[in-house]
Structure 1
Amino acid sequence: MPTDLKLPIIDLSSPEKISTSRLIRQACLDHGFFYLTNHGVSEELMERVFTESKNLFSLPLDDKIVMSGRGLRGYSPLHDENFSTATKGDSKEMFTFGSSEGVLSQLYPNRWPSQELLPLWRPTMESYYKNVVDAGRKLLGLVALALNLEENFFERVGAFNDQAPVVRLLRYSGELNSDGKETCGASPHSDFGMITLLATDGVPGLQVCRDKDKEPNVWEDVPGIKGAFVVNIGDLMERWTNGLFRSTMHRVLSVGKERYSVAVFLDPDPNCVVECLESCCSDTSPPRFPPVRTRDYFHDRFSQSLTSYSSTSS
């Protein structure tokens, strides 16, 4: 049976930036996951987001399907995402949205539910977006310090455009296989982007595998902490740091109970070029990954994992 993983707890409100950045560095080296507390997003707002998320997913399928969008934003039905060719797809529904402002919102428009159906939905989600992005900006500054970079590094190179992050609401059905085998609401994967901030409803199921190269995989439970984000490193940050900060494989195991979570992906601007940081390479540790433009990178990754994306993107 998996054991609970004791993750570090990072206090985002601490005035001691250097010591906090050192704690983040150690957490990223040891786990690739940590809890983030005192992040500035109120528990009351988080509870409203979960309430509105449940309201959306409880709508009839016909009402949800009309909110399916081209590419990444909007509604995605059960089994749309699939990280394994051996399964029919993950037993979860998703709804993704981003900023309503700027060029990106014109290229990738949000698919909001109608005000008649859910009158409080959009203002709640837009408030959450703003608050989480503010927390993400502060966190990335500390991550930069943890990598011996200037605090504003990620903003300066175009990695942090406050219109680029996306929020993904998730509903896991909780269904179990009749044969008793493990059922994944989210099959094993690592996140694609820089950093993910995850809020959960307290229902268990999230597990991590700290050594993704070891066979067989060893899974550990990550219990939720009320009001805290679970933060994890994504594949792009692994590329940036030349493998110093490794993205951690994780999954959501069905436990026979419906589960909700809210993931915020701090993704770079589509035009940002991700290449090895000078502080993470040397003559004896040359760059392991070639430079890649974020837009091309995400197009390739989502084409492989999202049925709706691959069927609508050219």
Structure 2
Amino acid sequence: MPKLAPKRRQKDQKKKMENQKQTGPEAPIKVSTLNCINLSNPDIHQSVSLLKQACLDCGFFYVVNHGISQEFMDEVFVQSKKFFDLPLDEKMKILRSEKHRGYTPLLDEHLDLENQVHGDYKEGYYIGVNVPENDPESEKPFNGRNVWPESGVLPGWRETMEKFHHEALEVVKEVARIIALALDLEVDFFDKPDILGKPIAILRLLHYEGKISDPSKGIYGAGAHSDFGFVTLLATDDVMGLQICRDKDAKPQIWEYVTPIKGAFIVNLGDMLERWSNCIFKSTLHRVLGNGQDRYSIAYFVEPNHDCLVECLPTCKSENNPPKFPPIRCSTYLSQRYKDTHADLNAYNK
């Protein structure tokens, strides 16, 4: 398994985290080692092997040399911070719509109802595929018009985010080709018009505002959850916080920090791909613990077309391993998952 970060940096991170104890029934937290997929590697067989190993093991891996320049990544983070630095009343002018576009305030999302006392101590901003209101496609649950801060408030902000949205989708499509090969499918299986032809692609800017997490008191930056859909790209700053749990049924659960690597995307599989692969590939529990520092990350969630029927892939079933789930339409599945985890918008009118 390749080393992902410089050895000195790995040692420094391990020294900080290895012996950290949590109060309550949790085990010590360690630092994870994840496979790294180099998208410029000409040896596709090596990339497929590394990705397959990661997907069978924990569903998390790094992607490097993905084609988005470091300068542009840095600019996206600068622009994200500018938005979150705005006064709250300015941000609330573009409160998220029922189509999941716009600002999500602190505590709006509640990912772990069983263990969280309040919602997540983070604020966010949703940007989707822009579909005008007069387009018949806008009737679909996750289609709609994006909302933006006024250009006079944040000049150039919209253009930066639209460019990143477009470039990140190309990265996901490249990763999807390697996933297809790892599942013994044709390389362009997920590229089909009825799968990623018109994807539900949601960019989400995130700011964790410095609240110190305390699992023993039910306080988290983001509660434990697995992502809902197909594939997620995550870019982070250099503040540690993301943790994964490889075995959600372990008692106690073992949590591992994922080290931020500058310029890399952390990639993880969602529940929909686990379902699609008949649980061969894993969608893994993860959470964010705040340590008192402001932390910024950029998540990019990509799902198939609204009408895509998610049913057991032909290479993932056999007489001894029949399909574990009935077929379900992508938008039906996602709509319920979002409803279960977000505050009712009517609460903001009270």
TM-score between the two structures when normalised by the length of structure 1: 0.94
Offset at 1:178? 8.8
- For 1:111-260, list aligned pairs within 5 A: 111-156=147-192, 158-161=194-197, 163-176=199-212, 181=217, 183-260=219-296
Q: Secondary structure at the match of 1:112?
A: coil
Equivalent residue, structure 2, for 1:12 = 39
What value does the CA root-mean-square deviation take over the aligned residues?
2.0
| CA–CA separation in structure 2 for the residues paired with 1:105 and 1:132 | 22
Are 1:277 and 2:313 matched, yes or no?
A: yes
| CA–CA separation in structure 2 for the residues paired with 1:67 and 1:272 | 30
Offset at 1:266? 1.2
CA contact (8 A) 1:182 1:253 kept: no
| CA–CA separation in structure 1 for the residues paired with 2:347 and 2:277 | 33
| CA–CA separation in structure 2 for the residues paired with 1:242 and 1:179 | 32
Equivalent residue, structure 2, for 1:266 = 302
Match of 1:40 among 59, 67, 80: 67
CA contact (8 A) 1:304 1:310 kept: no
Equivalent residue, structure 1, for 2:6 = none
| CA–CA separation in structure 1 for the residues paired with 2:344 and 2:195 | 26
CA contact (8 A) 2:112 2:225 kept: no
Offset at 1:157? 6.0
Are 1:87 and 2:125 matched, yes or no?
A: no
Offset at 1:309? 5.8
Over residues 120-169 of structure 1, what are the superposed CA-to-partner deviations in whole Å (9 max), with x where a residue is unaligned? 20111111111111111111011101100011111226221355211000
Structure 1's 236 and 177: CA in aligned 2 closer, same or farther, altered over 3 A? closer
- The aligned amino acid for 1:82 is H
- The aligned amino acid for 2:183 is L
How many aligned residue pairs are there? 312
Equivalent residue, structure 1, for 2:55 = 28
Over residues 161-203 of structure 1, what are the superposed CA-to-partner deviations in whole Å (9 max), with x where a residue is unaligned? 3552110000001212699857311010000011100000110
| CA–CA separation in structure 2 for the residues paired with 1:13 and 1:179 | 40
| CA–CA separation in structure 1 for the residues paired with 2:180 and 2:218 | 38
Q: Secondary structure at the match of 1:187?
A: strand
Q: Secondary structure at the match of 2:31?
A: coil
| CA–CA separation in structure 2 for the residues paired with 1:267 and 1:178 | 32
- The aligned amino acid for 2:109 is E
TM-score between the two structures when normalised by the length of structure 2: 0.85
Equivalent residue, structure 1, for 2:127 = 97
Equivalent residue, structure 1, for 2:9 = none
Q: Which has the larger radius of gyration?
A: 2
Offset at 1:216? 1.7
Q: Secondary structure at the match of 1:184?
A: coil
Q: Secondary structure at the match of 1:108?
A: coil
Which shows bigger deviation, 106-115 or 223-232? 106-115
Residue segments in structure 1 that go unaligned for 5+ positions in a row: none
Equivalent residue, structure 1, for 2:87 = 60
Match of 1:75 among 97, 103, 112: 103
Are 1:290 and 2:326 matched, yes or no?
A: yes
Q: Secondary structure at the match of 1:307?
A: coil
CA contact (8 A) 1:145 1:151 kept: yes
Residue segments in structure 2 that go unaligned for 5+ positions in a row: 1-19, 21-28
Which shows bigger deviation, 236-245 or 9-18? 9-18
| CA–CA separation in structure 2 for the residues paired with 1:214 and 1:255 | 25
- The aligned amino acid for 1:39 is H
| CA–CA separation in structure 1 for the residues paired with 2:138 and 2:162 | 13
Over residues 32-59 of structure 1, what are the superposed CA-to-partner deviations in whole Å (9 max), with x where a residue is unaligned? 1001000011111111111111111111
